[in-house]
Structure 1
């Protein structure tokens, strides 16, 4: 396991404003508190139910044969074994407690090139155009400012690189009921229950290559994007 060697550089200035039409989401501190608290239980509570989406995401990433992969929100490292053995994999997360469990998983794969860091994905420390492929599993709807996250993942992804997003999106009949059932408590656990695909995917000028449902009851979508940028 490799814990260093990630290329960094001074961050480029961010746009002064972002289009954030959605209702305010959780703060970064709230997200950290929530996931630190859930760290011992995360695999048991969310591991199996969300595993089909993770497997679909890593399979899609593997099919691209990327030299480098950044996973945003690597959590306890449930996806690490699914990436190509010869890819350099970097995983970031806000929760140090979650990363401790990811490090244990990475240590069991000493032949892999894996680097894990505590980092805010809305303000990444990587240089522009650092990664061939970026994966974003179940993160877009829990980050405080989704548009900032999108800005950052596009900045650090190479031109023409792949961005793979797994997330729930509003619209299905099941989610229509779920959104209303959990909306009152969603922010407390760092989760947006009502999260529009049109606003958070189609509003950006990247290229959508494919979209397919994953997980039980088609709860989530795997969206494969191409990072077309000047």
Structure 2
């Protein structure tokens, strides 16, 4: 798996911040809708979104939930904060934080949402360990991400593979290595977005 450096991720998303909603808003929206639908069914008291980005999902989480969103990109968070400021009467907190090193006590959240973040994380093992730590035992982890293997997307994955570190994204990203090998309980896997570009994985934090 290609190495990604944190500084390159930050640099990439500083560039993408003003363009992100236009480039990735609509095309990745079906996956977000499925994630938010699942969260609504769970209706968690405390939810954390790791990689909140520009805050495209913030207003659609359950109004009763205490919501915390973190991201490594200050430029993305600035846009997200503008969205959050318009939502009066909601318990919303945004913080600049690295998902591999979070400043929350163990078991702080009932549900962790990870939309389109796992494949841009420098050290996926550290990241997974950290989201499991801050999620309570028996809580829910929702991972929405692209995983390689689709025949339709094979050519695109091949073309961008060598650019992984430069663009802060891994196209060659195995479900078996990143999800199936961990000792958590996978409850469901659903293909989302155009022609199965992404998967929504629902996990119980055992």
Q: TM-score under structure 2 normalisation?
A: 0.98
Aligned-residue offset at 1:25 = 2.2
Q: 2:71 matched to 1:93?
A: yes
Q: Classify the secondary structure of the residue corresponding to 1:71.
A: strand
Question: Unmatched 5+ residue regions in structure 2?
Answer: none
Question: Hey, what's the Cα distance between the residues in 2 that align with 1:49 and 1:25?
Answer: 26
- Among residues 136, 141, 149, which one is paired with 1:171 in the alignment? 149
Question: Unmatched 5+ residue regions in structure 1?
Answer: 1-22
Q: 2:170 matched to 1:182?
A: no
Question: Hey, what's the Cα distance between the residues in 1 that align with 2:134 and 2:184?
Answer: 14
CA displacement, residues 62-94 of structure 1 (integer Å, 9 cap, x when unaligned): 110100000000000001111100000000000
Q: Classify the secondary structure of the residue corresponding to 1:193.
A: coil
Shift >2 Å, 4+ stretches: none
Q: 2:135 matched to 1:157?
A: yes
Give the corresponding residue for 1:213. Answer: 191
- Among residues 200, 204, 221, which one is paired with 2:178 in the alignment? 200
Q: 2:32 matched to 1:54?
A: yes
Superposition RMSD in Å: 0.8
Count how many residue pairs are aligned between Structure 1 and Structure 2: 206
Q: 2:120 matched to 1:142?
A: yes
Q: TM-score under structure 1 normalisation?
A: 0.88
Aligned-residue offset at 1:175 = 2.5
Q: 2:191 matched to 1:191?
A: no
- Among residues 66, 86, 90, which one is paired with 2:44 in the alignment? 66
C-alpha contact 1:55 1:82 (8 A) present in aligned 2: no
Question: Hey, what's the Cα distance between the residues in 2 that align with 1:24 and 1:155?
Answer: 26
Question: Hey, what's the Cα distance between the residues in 1 that align with 2:162 and 2:3?
Answer: 12
- Among residues 30, 33, 38, which one is paired with 2:11 in the alignment? 33
C-alpha contact 1:67 1:86 (8 A) present in aligned 2: yes
C-alpha contact 1:160 1:226 (8 A) present in aligned 2: yes
